[in-house]
Amino acid sequence: MDYMFWSTLKNVNLKAIVISYDIACQWSINLEDRMTKIDEYFWIFKSNNVKAMYLVPKFHLPAHVLPCRTRFSFNYAPGVGRTDGEAPERGWAKVNPLAPSTREMGPGTRRDTLDYHFGDSNWQKVVGLGRSFYSHEI
């Protein structure tokens, strides 16, 4: 997880970031030290201008101890609106049936196949916006 986090953000320039992870309460502990072992100049910790907020998605929060439920809750975090933090996981439900096919593929074909399916899912959302907007009678 540490390497994925670093490699995703290594060349990004942000002023603030919200990190939503099922176990953000534990994973964020000593994260700066772990990131220093990967890249001692990792921007998130070397810039005083970057604000990082760690939160636990709402579905997973009830399984945590009481202090986690308040400190890492989307409900009490400024700037996140009514987000539940679960949206990134919802897309996997549609793609899970691809697993038997993609596990036999090479890395390039697998990536192309997943990109195609994620792209189609995004397109269906865009097309559906018009229908959902105009489906309400005035």
Residues in the chain: 138
Q: Where are the beta strands (DSSP E) in the chain?
A: 16-20, 51-55
Interval 27-75: pLDDT, tens: 889 888 888 888 877 767 666 677 888 999 998 888 989 988 889 999 9
Structure confidence at residue 131 as a pLDDT band (50, 70, 90): low
The HSE-up count of residue 35 (CA atoms within 13 Å, CB side) is: 19
Residue 3 identity: Y
